[in-house]
């Protein structure tokens, strides 16, 4: 397995993991809040990883968002929703790392909670052999 293949192994992510990320209504119309589990946090990390890779995804998503291109909703909408929910409710190990690094700002989110700044770095994935040359 080369470097890229190990970065893109999403075989363990299930529909249930995705349902745990997104706030949704159950069959009775009651809101189900996002939850953290080992599997849903692995899915959250995969969603963030996809956004940080050097692919057309982040450019296309950012352009559609900034231009308010509604034609992109059928194709990018589901991923954009998952990314939004992942940034709002990041994997718990990321929250631990962010303590002291993220700061509250003088604004509230949609639920009335203080907003927090978060930095998401994009990078280039390289196989170990390429990294060793530097």
Which residues have CB under 8 Å from 126's CB, separation 6+?
A: 3
Rounded to whole angstroms, the Cα distance separating 81 from 37 reads 19
pLDDT in tens, 15-38: 888 888 888 888 999 988 888 888
40-92 per-position pLDDT tens digit: 888 888 888 888 877 888 889 989 988 999 999 999 998 998 888 888 777 76
Element (H, E) at 107: strand 104-108
Check: pTM over 0.85? Answer yes or no. Answer: no
Length of the chain (residues) = 134
């Amino acid at each position: 397995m080369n470097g890229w293949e190990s970065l893109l192994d999403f075989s363990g992510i299930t529909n249930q993991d995705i349902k745990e990320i997104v706030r949704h209504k159950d069959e009775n119309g009651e809101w189900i809040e996002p939850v953290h589990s080992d599997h849903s946090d692995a899915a959250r990390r995969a969603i963030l990883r996809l956004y940080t890779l050097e692919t057309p995804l982040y450019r296309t998503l950012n352009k559609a968002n900034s231009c308010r291109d509604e034609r992109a909703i059928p194709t990018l909408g589901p991923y954009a929703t998952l990314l939004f929910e992942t940034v709002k409710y990041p994997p718990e190990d990321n929250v631990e790392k962010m303590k002291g690094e993220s700061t509250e700002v003088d604004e509230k989110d949609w639920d009335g909670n203080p907003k927090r700044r978060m930095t998401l770095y994009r990078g280039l994935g390289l196989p170990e052999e390429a990294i060793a040359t530097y």
